[in-house]
Structure 1
Amino acid sequence: MAHKINGVIPAGEITNQDKPRRTRLFRRFAKNTKGATAIEFAILAFPFCLLVFAILESTISFATQQVMANAGDSIARELRTGQLRAGDVNEAKLKDLVCGKLEVIVADGCPGLEVDLREFPTFDAAAKVRVKLTSDKDIDTSDFAVTPGDALSINMLRVFYRWPVMTDLMRSSMSNLKDGKTLLFSTITWRNEPYS
């Protein structure tokens, strides 16, 4: 047994009897996991929630973009084949057609929807059209029109939707329009068939 001086064992005089006692204390401390799960959850919960919300927000946004592209393709096909004629289409009807195909995923009445359908002399002229934003970060619709061409004409349909970013944490990185919205769009360019 080690000799204690004033209740303290001098360094280097620890006996074999004291080693198992310290080992037992260390093992008991290492086995005690009370609260470890709560601490691990507290450390990981916030980044995990951020990741989940980012994935959900991106998924819903991309799904909406795809539904909108499909709606544009469907309407363009009807115009290309002559099922919809130039005289039958105005802005209100075109918005109703697009909104009818989007109502599964957007708010009732499609409040953020804009459409632009024009005839162009060449595909090159259609390719030069750009999306413009106003100074207050909204879509510039000043040159939008609904003027489709007749048989064999070159046309371009552009569909825009002001999509609200739903999670506050994603708003700063995803939004590119005012009021925390992001611009979803679809463009289809085609030549009408020679229908009569």
Structure 2
Amino acid sequence: MARLRRKSFFGDTRGATAVEFALLAPIFFTLLGAILETSVNYLAAQVLESGVQDTSRLIRTGEAQRRNWTVADYKKDVCGRLFGLFGDCSDMYVSVRQIDTFQSADYEVPLDRDCKSNCKWSKSDEWQPGVASGVVMIQVYYRYPSILQTPLADNRLGDGRLLMGAATVFRNEPF
């Protein structure tokens, strides 16, 4: 009798699909989530780059200098071009400075990359939009929130956020 029950138990295939789904669903949904987050992060990085390029045009043409912009005005204009992908723009670091030549352009991430929690900017914002025909370097960094905490991203901070950056170097027009 016990032999018959065991044989019928192993031969019963009802519910096999549910068991297979239960085994594979976490892997599938994790992979799907990683693909979606990577796509959103890539889109956000491209939007940040575009916003920085567009707003930097106002410095290049001398418009920002004529309007007596500050770093807060620059941030506000960049944030207005980010289409809501970035939450609080106060979490943005901006460095606008005149440099001597294109060859002297050098960047330094204003953040301790080894911080473990609540990573803060190690430098304060800079604002030197330059003069006519001067070479200007602009760097913008943002600590972007991340949903999945995958350890594969090399731009991930200790507190789980992603460090996104955009930079441009140009010569101001002779305004």
Task: Pick the TM interval, shorter chain.
Answer: 0.7 to 0.9
Q: TM-score, normalised by structure 1?
A: 0.74
Using the TM superposition, give the Cα deviation of residue 151 of structure 1 relative to its aligned residue in structure 2, in angstroms. Answer: 1.1
Give the Cα–Cα distance (whole angstroms) in 1 for the partners of residues 75 and 122 of structure 2: 14
Contact 1:89 1:146 in 2 (8 A): no
- Work out the CA distance in 1 between the residues paired with 2:66 and 2:21: 61
Q: Indicate conservation of the 8 Å contact 2:146/2:162, yes or no.
A: yes
Return the letter of the residue paired with 2:162.
Answer: T
Residue correspondence of structure 1 range 1-196 to structure 2 within 5 A: 29=11, 33-85=13-65, 88-107=68-87, 109-126=88-105, 128-134=106-112, 136=115, 138=119, 140-142=121-123, 144-167=125-148, 169-170=149-150, 172-174=151-153, 176-195=156-175
Q: Displacement of 1:143 after TM fit?
A: 6.1
Distance in 1 between the 2:124 and 2:89 partners?
A: 21
Instruction: Go from structure 1 to structure 2 and tell me whether the alpha carbon gap of 1:50 and 1:39 turns closer, same or farther (over 3 Å shift).
Output: same
The 3 A distance-change label for structure 1 pair 86 and 176 is farther
Shift of 1:91: 1.5
* TM-aligned CA deviation for residue 38 of structure 1: 0.6
Structure 1 residue 142: Cα displacement: 2.1
- Mapped partners of 1:189, 1:139: distance in 2: 25
User: Equivalent pairs: percent with the same residue?
Assistant: 33
Measure, in 2, the Cα distance between the counterparts of 1:130 and 1:39: 52
2:110·2:123 contact (CA, 8 Å) conserved in 1? no
List per-residue Cα deviations over 1:117-163 (Å, max 9, x = no partner). Answer: 0000111111x222243263646442641111011010011111101
The amino acid across from 1:157 in the alignment is: I
Please tell me whether Structure 1 or Structure 2 has the larger radius of gyration of its CA atoms: 1
- Structure 1 match to 2:4: none
| Greater Cα offset, 84-93 or 50-59 | 84-93
Shift of 1:61: 0.8
**Alignment length, in residue pairs?**
163
Q: Which structure's relative contact order is higher, taking Cα pairs within 8 Å and 6+ residues apart? A: 2
CA shift digits 1:86-138 (9 cap, x unpaired): 7622111111111111252121x424211110000111111x22224326364
Given that residues 141 and 166 in structure 2 are in contact (C-alpha distance below 8 angstroms), is that contact kept between their aligned partners in structure 1? yes
2:95 counterpart SS class: strand
Distance across 1 between alignment mates of 2:110 and 2:65: 28
Are residues 84 and 111 of structure 1, via their aligned partners in 2, closer, same or farther at CA, if it must alter by over 3 Å?
Answer: closer
Separation in 2 of the partners of 1:153 and 1:87?
18
Unaligned regions of 5+ residues in structure 2, if any? 1-6
TM-score (norm 2): 0.82
Secondary structure of 1:61's partner?
A: helix
